[in-house]
A = this chain, B = another copy of it.
Amino acid sequence: MANINEVAEVAGVSISTVSYALSGKRPVAPDTRRRIEAAVLELGYSPNAGARMLAGSRTQIFALTEPLRNDTHAPTHMSFVLATAIAARRNDYDILLLTDEQAQAGMSRVAANGLVDAILVLDVAPDDPRVALARQISTPTVFIGIPDDHDGLVCVDLDFEAAAARAVDVLVDAGHASIGLVGQTETAYVKSNFPPRVRASVLARAGERDADVAHGTSGIKHADRAWVRRTTGDLLAGGATALILHCSDEAHSAVLAEIESRGLRVPQDVSVISVGASFDTTALPVSVDSIPLVPQTSCDLAVELAIQALGPDRPEPGVRLIAPTYSPQGSVAPPATPSSETAAS
């Protein structure tokens, strides 16, 4: 591996000129620049990462803490890891992955040894232990998700509350007065921050709009197909004419299977809206209206904030909520049997 001295020698300039030519932090004569670029190419030169870390003040590495617990929904979590990595690379950053117990221990470690410029936190629990860590260390930290206690933290997330409220509004506006919510696994309501937010918001908005809501989960630890079908059946039997789905890919398909097996059609007999899905709801057996959770959007913003935190004007602590978007797919219609005659008159 060639170093900056060899490049300087070949190009016939000093090493500082090489450095400035490559960083662009100082104007370099066009001709000089060309000779340097030629030398770089010829030698296959690439600035040594360790030396840059030491001399410069940036490591060009972000830590990503993501426990990757095995009771989590792998595809969703993988999407976020991937989206974070993509967002980071767009800004010339690499991702150091801290999983398992290292999600916590590693955070302190890399903050202490200066391996990373900032830390991104995924899979945020309501009472996440990484909150306390983030407050102790001086390395800028951005949460993708909102812990209960987020005082002084920088957090980014989809506005799940608004998304849930919007779903209720759409259904009530269409004439539905009884709504079923097929939620996440029971574990998710304890270990994750957003399932309770969606549920609370659905209940609150339904209350405001005078609609009934019943809530069911999609399993214990993992989405359970039979469980989901039972939940769906119970909700429909309970009089729900519309369903809000806040659950996994497979759970969505189980819901649709149950609806179909009951001889019901979407949207004529049952209206369906998906909330917070990070997969393609148009690839389901029946296309479903969606207020999606787009990992790339959250992760792009998180990376942007992390980078901003390294500059002179650090971002204000606080929660940044991403406005939800509604993607209609024709899975919502007025109820077949209006719940009240007055509504139809």
Q: Which residues of A contact B (CB under 8 A)?
A: 1, 44, 46-54, 59, 61, 64, 68, 70, 74-75, 77-79, 81-82, 85-86, 89, 94-100, 102, 106, 109-110, 112-115, 225, 250, 253
Contacts and interface: CB of A to CB of B under 8 A. Distances in A.
A244 to B, nearest CB: 23
Given A50-B114, A68-B82, 11 more contacts: A44-B112, A48-B54, A49-B53, A49-B110, A50-B51, A54-B54, A74-B77, A77-B78, A82-B99, A82-B100, A250-B250
15 contacts: A48-B114, A49-B113, A49-B114, A50-B51, A50-B54, A50-B114, A54-B54, A64-B97, A68-B82, A70-B79, A74-B78, A85-B98, A96-B96, A96-B97, A225-B253
Contact of A94 (B79, B89, B106): B106
Contact of A109 (B46, B61, B86, B113): B46
Instruction: Say how many copies of this protein the assembly contains.
Output: 2
A86 B100 CA distance: 7
Contacts of A98: 85, 94
A89 B102 contact: yes
Nearest to A51: B54
A149 to B, nearest CB: 24
Contacts of A61: 96
Nearest to A223: B250
Contacts of A51: 50, 53-54
B54 A68 contact: no
Contact of A81 (B53, B86, B99): B99
A82 B89 CA distance: 21
Nearest to A103: B85
A4 to B, nearest CB: 12
A53 B49 CA distance: 8
B78 A46 contact: no
